[in-house]
């Protein structure tokens, strides 16, 4: 029994870590939906939902119940297997980057000998990241590329011309802006020297004072990444696939009830993922310059303060998403493609070349 | 032990998806199964401690190349291939040729095992150079090279057969069917939506 526990302990740690992260992500997503409706309401001069609880706090649960109890329609002539597969692909690809979110620094001051069966011996650190992959950034970009399938297959399998066109347009938009997103990250990778998200944060904490947060040397990259992120997650002003004629909902027209809820959830989890990437790459992730003067590095207080500041930065980006939704009109499809290929991609590449030149002269 | 189990799981998945790719008549199912093959291969790369190759495999193959293929299938609106009933005798021919292929593979395997495998170059100074790649290709890694040769031959011949020009009476049949389908569509409302 003790032997089984000892061999299974690392896996148990991962399982517990993933469950906690899953809980955090689901909570954030549920309350982002509520926050969107409230903030959009305030921008538009009205109050959002306020019936279900104080300030509409329990609205997400009401939404979930509504989605579960709706009638589940399946179009008759659709390709059934792909019709059921598409929302699964979308939500799986949205949730996969969960494993590498860098929530906070490593806690090194806990004494682990309180664990039974001697499990705690030899453990010195509790990292607040579930998995530190060497190629974390490539992993996230790859998963985003595969997420395009969810939308393309949904559009095709609905056996509906509007869905097909919406799905194809959305896929075209996503693969165009993926390039700009990848190119805008290259400058950060060059400055940090690693593709690992935790490594990028540590590189930011070790930089000279003017590049503690990479937004300062890489502000062009930041702007390009932010715009490309709006396009990747199909949010306004790039949400043509979802509100194409305002009557037909694009690729998820024929989806009802829980399958639509999966697409909806996938969109908000994508928003959260992109906000986490943005704070990690450009705003220093959990690192904020003056926290280490208040709490000693590696203590629980430092980790907690860093975590709270990290979530504050992520929520600031989510608020920015909602703010832009309430403010800007929508792009037309040809304007969208022009903007992605003829303006953003060359700008991101120019940023890379500029970074190369400056890093070369700084190092020599 | 764990890596062996994982290898068999992912290899089984890859082979299953590959069989599914060539089995389905609907080209979209084949394309989605091919994505499954690439994802399984990427998992095998992870078990071989090559995370970069795994990530790049997903990024390029599953994320870019297959998206292109799926776009083409969707935009061209390819229908399912109806099985040709006049080609039934080809099943027997195909079976016979499959046995010939197996015999050929067995011969390649036996011949490679008989080849003397001595390294004739100094590995320290020639790593990465063409000389060392060539030397290793024909001594230590001879079996994969020969099998890849057979596979490429199969792929080329298969491609040529699939797009062969039909003889005159068959061509007329195909063109007549197509025209009938198109005229039928003209009688109903035919929407053309520009992308």
Residue B49: domain span? 1-82
A289-342 pLDDT, tens per residue?
A: 888 888 888 788 888 999 999 999 999 999 999 999 989 988 888 888 999 999
Residues of B in contact with A96 (CB under 8 A): none
Closest C-alpha to A262, from A136, A150, A105? A150
A171 touches B: beta carbon within 8 Å = yes
Identify any residues that bridge with A107 across adjacent strands, giving them in sequence order: A126
Distance CA A232, CA A278 (A): 13
Final residue in a domain of this structure, among B82, B101, B127 = B82
Same domain, B153 and B101: yes
A241 or A261: which carries more pLDDT confidence? A261
What is the pLDDT, as a whole number, of residue A228? 93
Least confident piece of the model among A203-212, A303-312, B74-83: B74-83
On whether residue A43 sits in a domain, the answer given is no
Q: Do B63 and A148 touch (CB under 8 A)?
A: yes
What is the pLDDT, as a whole number, of residue B128? 64
Same domain, B89 and B78: no
B170 or A136: which carries more pLDDT confidence? A136
What is the pLDDT, as a whole number, of residue B137? 78
pLDDT-derived band of residue B195, with 50, 70 and 90 as boundaries?
very low
Beta carbons within 8 Å of A303's beta carbon, 6+ residues apart: A104, A105, A106, A107, A128
Provide the 8-state DSSP code for B63.
Answer: I
Same domain, B30 and B51: yes
What is the pLDDT, as a whole number, of residue A180? 92
Residue whose tokens read 């993933």:
A18
pLDDT-derived band of residue B194, with 50, 70 and 90 as boundaries?
very low
Residues of A in contact with B35 (CB under 8 A): 146, 149
Q: How many domains does chain B have?
A: 2
On whether residue A318 sits in a domain, the answer given is yes
Same domain, B105 and B195: yes
Same domain, B41 and B114: no
Give me chain B's average pLDDT, please: 81
Nearest CB neighbour to A152, from listed B29, B74, B193: B74
What is the pLDDT, as a whole number, of residue A220? 93
Q: Do A145 and B51 touch (CB under 8 A)?
A: no
Final residue in a domain of this structure, among B82, B117, B151 = B82
- As a three-state string, the secondary structure of chain A is CHHHHHHHHHHHHHHHHHHHHHHHHHHHHHHHHHHHHHHHHHHCCCCCCCCCCHHHCCHHHHHHHHHHHCCCCCCCCCCHHHHHHHHHHHHHHHHHHHHHCCCCCCECCCCHHHCHHHCCCCCCCECCCCCCCCCHHHHHHHHHHHHHHHHHHHHHHCCCHHHHHHHHHHHHHHHHHHHHHHHHHHHHHHHHCCCCHHHHHHHHHCCCHHHCCCCCCCHHHHHHHHHHHHHHCCCCCCCCCCCCCCCCCHHHCCCCHHHHHHHHHHHHHHHHHHHHHHHHHHCCCCCCCCHHHHCCCCCHHHHHHHHHHHHHHHHHHHHHHHHHHHHCCCCCHHHHHHHHHHHHHHHHHHHHHHHHHHHHHHHC
A15 or A3: which carries more pLDDT confidence? A15
A168 touches B: beta carbon within 8 Å = yes
On whether residue A173 sits in a domain, the answer given is yes
CA distance A145 to chain B (A): 5
In this prediction, the answer to ipTM > 0.85 reads: no
Q: Mutation test of the interface with chain A: which of B55, B79, B190, choosing the one with the most A Cβ atoms within 10 A?
A: B55
Mean pLDDT of A227-232: 92
On whether residue A34 sits in a domain, the answer given is no
Q: Read off the pTM.
A: 0.83
Please check whether residue A100 is in contact with residue A133, taking contact to mean a CB–CB distance below 8 angstroms.
yes
- Whether the per-residue pLDDT at A224 is higher than 60: the answer is yes
Beta carbons within 8 Å of B163's beta carbon, 6+ residues apart: none
Final residue in a domain of this structure, among B82, B108, B140 = B82
- Whether the per-residue pLDDT at A233 is higher than 50: the answer is yes
Q: In degrees, to the nearest 5, what angle opens at C-alpha B69 toward C-alphas B67 and B75?
A: 100
Same domain, B128 and B61: no
B97-116 pLDDT, tens per residue?
A: 889 888 888 888 888 778 77
Same domain, B115 and B140: yes
Using a pLDDT cut of 70, give the percent of chain A over it.
Answer: 97
B46 touches A: beta carbon within 8 Å = no
Distance CA A43, CA A62 (A): 23
B71 touches A: beta carbon within 8 Å = yes
Distance CA A38, CA A153 (A): 33
* Domain of residue B11, CATH code: 1.20.120.1200
Mean pLDDT of A207-226: 89
Residue A205: domain span? 73-363
What token pair was written down for A150?
A: 């969810």
pLDDT-derived band of residue B59, with 50, 70 and 90 as boundaries?
very high
Same domain, B14 and B33: yes
Same domain, B172 and B121: yes
Nearest CB neighbour to A135, from listed B35, B55, B64: B55
Q: How many domains does chain A have?
A: 1
Same domain, B120 and B26: no
A18-61 pLDDT, tens per residue?
A: 999 999 999 999 999 999 999 999 999 998 888 888 888 898 88
Same domain, B88 and B121: yes
Same domain, B125 and B191: yes
Q: Do B71 and A145 touch (CB under 8 A)?
A: no
Identify any residues that bridge with A126 across adjacent strands, giving them in sequence order: A107
On whether residue A185 sits in a domain, the answer given is yes
Least confident piece of the model among A65-69, A337-341, A360-364, B87-91: B87-91
Mean pLDDT of A256-284: 90
Closest C-alpha to A38, from A329, A327, A323? A323
């Amino acid at each position: 029994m003790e032997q089984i526990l000892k061999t299974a302990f690392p896996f148990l740690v991962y399982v517990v870590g993933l469950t906690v992260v899953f809980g955090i992500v689901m909570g954030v997503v549920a309350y982002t939906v509520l926050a969107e409706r409230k903030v959009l309401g305030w921008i538009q001069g009205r109050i959002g939902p306020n019936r279900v609880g104080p300030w509409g706090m329990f609205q997400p649960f009401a939404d979930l119940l509504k989605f579960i109890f709706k009638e589940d329609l399946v179009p008759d002539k659709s390709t059934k297997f792909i019709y059921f597969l598409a929302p699964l692909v979308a939500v799986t690809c949205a949730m996969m980057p969960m494993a590498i979110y860098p929530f906070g620094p490593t806690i090194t001051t806990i004494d682990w000998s309180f664990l039974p069966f001697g499990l705690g011996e030899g453990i010195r650190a509790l990292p607040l990241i579930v998995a530190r992959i060497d190629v974390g950034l490539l992993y996230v970009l790859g998963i985003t590329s595969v997420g395009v399938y969810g939308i393309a297959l949904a559009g095709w399998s609905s056996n509906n011309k509007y869905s097909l066109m919406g799905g194809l347009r959305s896929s075209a938009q996503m693969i165009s802006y993926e390039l700009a997103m990848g190119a805008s990250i290259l400058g950060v990778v060059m400055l940090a020297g690693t593709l690992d998200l935790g490594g990028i944060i540590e590189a930011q904490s070790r930089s000279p004072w003017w590049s503690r947060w990479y937004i300062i040397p890489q502000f062009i990259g930041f702007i390009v990444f932010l715009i490309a992120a709006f396009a990747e997650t199909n949010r306004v002003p790039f949400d043509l696939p979802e509100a194409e004629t305002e009557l037909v909902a694009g690729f998820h027209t024929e989806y009802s009830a829980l399958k639509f809820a999966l697409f909806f959830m996938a969109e908000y989890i994508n928003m959260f993922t992109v906000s986490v990437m943005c704070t990690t790459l450009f705003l220093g992730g959990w690192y904020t310059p003056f926290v280490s003067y208040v709490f000693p590095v590696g203590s629980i207080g430092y980790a907690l303060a860093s975590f709270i500041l990290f979530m504050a930065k992520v929520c600031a980006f989510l608020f920015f998403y909602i703010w832009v939704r309430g403010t800007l009109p929508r792009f037309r499809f040809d304007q969208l493609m022009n903007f992605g290929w003829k303006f953003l991609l060359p700008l991101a590449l120019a940023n890379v070349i500029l970074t190369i030149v400056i890093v070369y002269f700084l190092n020599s | 032990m764990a890596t062996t189990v994982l290898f068999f799981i992912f290899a089984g998945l890859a082979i299953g998806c590959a069989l599914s790719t060539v089995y389905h008549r609907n080209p979209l199912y084949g394309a989605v199964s091919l994505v499954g093959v690439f994802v399984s291969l990427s998992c095998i790369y992870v078990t071989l401690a090559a995370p970069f190759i795994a990530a790049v495999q997903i990024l390029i193959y599953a994320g870019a190349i297959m998206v292109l293929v799926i776009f083409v299938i969707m935009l061209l609106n390819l229908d399912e291939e109806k099985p040709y009933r006049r080609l039934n005798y080809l099943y027997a021919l195909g079976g016979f040729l499959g046995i010939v292929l197996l015999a050929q593979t067995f011969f390649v395997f036996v011949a490679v095992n008989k080849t003397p495998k001595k390294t004739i170059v100094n590995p320290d100074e020639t790593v990465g150079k063409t000389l060392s790649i060539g030397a290793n290709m024909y001594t230590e890694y001879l079996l994969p090279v020969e099998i890849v040769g057979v596979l490429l031959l199969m792929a080329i011949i298969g491609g040529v057969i699939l797009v062969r020009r039909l003889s005159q009476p068959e061509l007329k049949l195909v063109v007549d069917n197509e025209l009938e389908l198109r005229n039928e569509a003209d009688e109903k409302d035919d929407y053309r939506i520009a992308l």
